[in-house]
Structure 1
């Protein structure tokens, strides 16, 4: 067993599975986040969100898998009674891309799903996340990297019902510089990272996403003015979390409490998952003590 503070994960994602009374934790392995060849993706499981059993090998690429480094930001969603992992991968000479993997159980093993990556072939992309709209239509929201466009971009693209591919062209939702709290890096680039969609209790659709802030890596809140995925989107003036941490997601524990997990600090290899209890108030999130 490991305490959550001993797990060197970036980009943490926690999936509650109520019928098992178990939480599953996925993330980017800190040791190989930037250099080296990762084995794949691991998963931990817990009954209390504090002590975690594992790691278990959730994904191990077979010979011939197209990517060999930068295995980033795995997140797992239950959809039509299967489990789908959205994750970012890279290979020399190929743009970074989001690939979908599938399994019959949250612990895996996960295997590539569909014909290949679901982001455009010539775009540098990362951090795809699943969103199912009010009509049951699946979408992927993802980032186009500042490495290619300088001002990082956030897109949505419709997925096929079986999540095997895309329908139509990606739709631009916003650029990173549109958020008042986002600041450029040393070379003038604006970062887009880690989108996660959430429907507030009053029906408002919001998005957590991360960029650089005044005090380092930060996570802000964007709001859909139409209540629909394609927006238009506006941004809160101040970050929701500005303490050199981010790439967060929201979930409810088995008692109904709303929890946020993200990694902090944003310094390799010191990054760790943290879990913060929140509540909705005044159209935003506040920390519970």
Structure 2
């Protein structure tokens, strides 16, 4: 790993730990809920927005285990803590929560998220000590929670760091989790799928490779000799269908020190692919980890976060882009202001 990437990881880990312990530990007892907050005034990584038809409300979550609520995407209220994990589970007492998503499915609401127990170490690779981290699913009867554990204590192997799990029902009618197997251990991040039980309460079988970070024609980094090579990172998968019925996947990586999002399309129209990567990314530099939703006015939007570093601290802000899915490919129309 080059020195810049090593430094970037250290900065990210330090920032997350500072935010977690200063906000997560102390503020969880006394969270200050704010009202009438503009979207661009919220600090949130990996924003995911559920447009809930039953309540006619938008629910936004992401990294941190909180939810924000809005009626119009313009004015937001929150944050609300919505998760109740089992302290006796592998997650421990206060797990970090990354990249949470909300999915309505068969009358219930499911919380797909990455949980990290920093007190448990599973491996050391290339000098990096790897925490116990995995994608997992919680459930609730209401979009605002509380989201609680289900039957299975684990969904993915305990000896592998996995993250950014998302949800998809494939053409076989079966539910799947699509997730990243983290590059910190395999040194070439992958995106994989695993079948879920019909009620999403656990997983079935083993994960299957969909594609690798090195398959990307647009991501880049420098190797130890200073040569350009594909970036190692796979981040934030999200599945969608175009108007023509084509299956696509958003995912994020890096171009040197710039965070950016690309897209791949499945030739078979199923998760099994093969996945063909678009040659160029679809967002401006330093925007990524996107998802797509439809507003109550039937407008198709993509939620992403912007990314910058100030004095060694990451600043990430939710943003919306209008997109066009009516044709054969996703087309980013431009920034959307609620």
TM-score scaled by structure 2?
0.78
Aligned to 2:329: 283
Query: Structure 2, unaligned stretches of length 5 or more?
Result: 1-34, 123-131
Match of 2:179 among 138, 142, 158: 142
C-alpha distance 253-185 of structure 1, shift in aligned 2 (>3 A): farther
Q: Aligned ranges for residues 1-289 of structure 1 at < 5 Å?
A: 1=35, 2-29=37-64, 41-67=65-91, 68-91=94-117, 92-94=120-122, 95-184=132-221, 190-214=232-256, 216-267=258-309, 268-280=313-325, 281=327, 283-288=329-334
Runs of 4+ displaced beyond 4 Å: 185-189
Determine if contact 2:246/2:328 at 8 Å carries over to the other structure.
no
Q: Distance in 2 between matches of 1:185 and 1:3?
A: 38
Query: Structure 1, unaligned stretches of length 5 or more?
Result: 30-40
Q: Distance in 2 between matches of 1:266 and 1:154?
A: 25
C-alpha deviation, 1:270, in angstroms = 1.6
Q: Secondary structure at the match of 1:109?
A: coil
Q: Deviations over 1:27-57 (max 9, x none)?
A: 113xxxxxxxxxxx11011011011011112
Number of residue equivalences: 278
TM-score scaled by structure 1?
0.91
Q: Distance in 1 between matches of 2:154 and 2:98?
A: 14
Q: Distance in 2 between matches of 1:161 and 1:62?
A: 23
Looking at CA atoms only, which structure, 1 or 2, has the larger radius of gyration? 2
Q: Distance in 1 between matches of 2:295 and 2:142?
A: 19
Determine if contact 1:279/1:288 at 8 Å carries over to the other structure.
no
Determine if contact 1:42/1:55 at 8 Å carries over to the other structure.
yes
Q: Specify which structure has the higher proportion of helix.
A: 2
The Cα RMSD (Å) is: 1.8
Q: Secondary structure at the match of 2:200?
A: coil
